[in-house]
Each structure stands twice: as structure tokens, then as C-alpha cells.
Amino acid sequence: MLNTFWAVVRNGKIEPLEDVNIIEGIKVLVTLPPPEDDTQFWVKSSQISLDTIWNNTEDDIYEQLLQK
């Protein structure tokens, strides 16, 4: 089971911002988010999903129904 939580790095060590039960020696996967001021990352990331939704040719049938 995946468990996601926020943490900060202090003196080269990752410290959770909340109490979490972590087994000593367990392997963890760390994902670093982009800096808070890096909005271009989020714009580009969301654009891929938006393009998939808006450029869907299967929805053209609804446009045809509106013209009737």
C-alpha cells in the first residue's frame, strides 16, 4: 500500500511533517515537486490532459446534434 506524506529536508535528512509509522530500514521512494514558483511545470502537465479531453473527435457527434 502506498502512503504519501509531506516532509522537509534538514541537514541532509528527510523529516516527515506529521507522525508516520515507518519501519526502520524500509526502502522509500522520494519525489521532489518543482519549486512553488515554477507554474510552467503545472501548466504543461495539465495541458496534456486537457488536450486529450478537448481534442476528442468522438465528441463531434454532440456538435452535430446541436445543429439539428
pLDDT digits (tens, 9 = 90+) for 17-58: 999 988 999 998 888 877 766 777 778 778 888 888 888 788
Residue 46 C-alpha cell reads as: 495539465
Is residue 33 one of the residues assigned to a domain?
yes
Is residue 51 one of the residues assigned to a domain?
yes
| pLDDT classification of 62: cutoffs 50, 70, 90 | confident
Domain count, the chain: 1
The per-residue pLDDT for 68 is 66
Is residue 56 one of the residues assigned to a domain?
yes
Ramachandran region, residue 25 (left: φ > 0; alpha: ψ -120 to 50; beta: rest): left
Is residue 2 one of the residues assigned to a domain?
no
The per-residue pLDDT for 36 is 66
| pLDDT classification of 9: cutoffs 50, 70, 90 | very high
Instruction: Give the domain extent around 31.
Output: 7-67
How far apart are the C-alpha atoms of 59 and 68, rounded to whole Å?
16
The per-residue pLDDT for 24 is 92
